[in-house]
Amino acid sequence: MRKLFSILICLLLIPSIGLCWGSKKKQYNELQKVAGEINEALPQMVSKEIQLVRVVAQEYNEIEYVMKTLLYSINDLNINSIERTLKPQTKNSICSSPDTLEMIKHGVTYTYVYYDKNNIYIGKFSVTPNDCGY
């Protein structure tokens, strides 16, 4: 689990992208651009068991990471443990990294959506500006 968290942290650190935060439409366009650039390198394994499938810009202020476990079905997993285990660590990383914190300050929410090996929805969690004190 610790290795998975370390890899997920790397995914959070979107390179400096020079976001134009003047309007919601510009912000959404920039998030779409970032998602498109990341998607060019996907799918990509982030651990022995988790694959980052795609990144999606959602309605002006949300960037969504779609993850898939390749080894487990929904019946093998404790759904509640995903948020309970990963969200606090992910929140700490997002709220303390200069790149992601800058995006948080401008209203961007980070959402992580998980699917099992059969593409069945497992669950999701988000880190919002409010989670980081904004």
Cβ count within 10 A of residue 67: 23
pLDDT attached to residue 73:
93
pLDDT reading at 14 higher than 70: no
Q: Nearest Cα to 108, choosing from 44, 70, 57, 51?
A: 57
pLDDT band at 115; cut points 50, 70, 90: very high
Q: Nearest Cα to 82, choosing from 117, 47, 113, 110?
A: 113
- Residue-range definition of the domain harbouring residue 27: 2-132
List for the chain the helix, strand, coil content (%; round to 5): 45, 25, 30
Confidence (pTM): 0.79
d(CA 112, CA 64): 6
CATH classification of the domain holding 77:
3.30.300.250
For the chain, how many structural domains are there in total?
Answer: 1
The least confident of 6-10, 28-32, 37-41, 76-80 is: 6-10
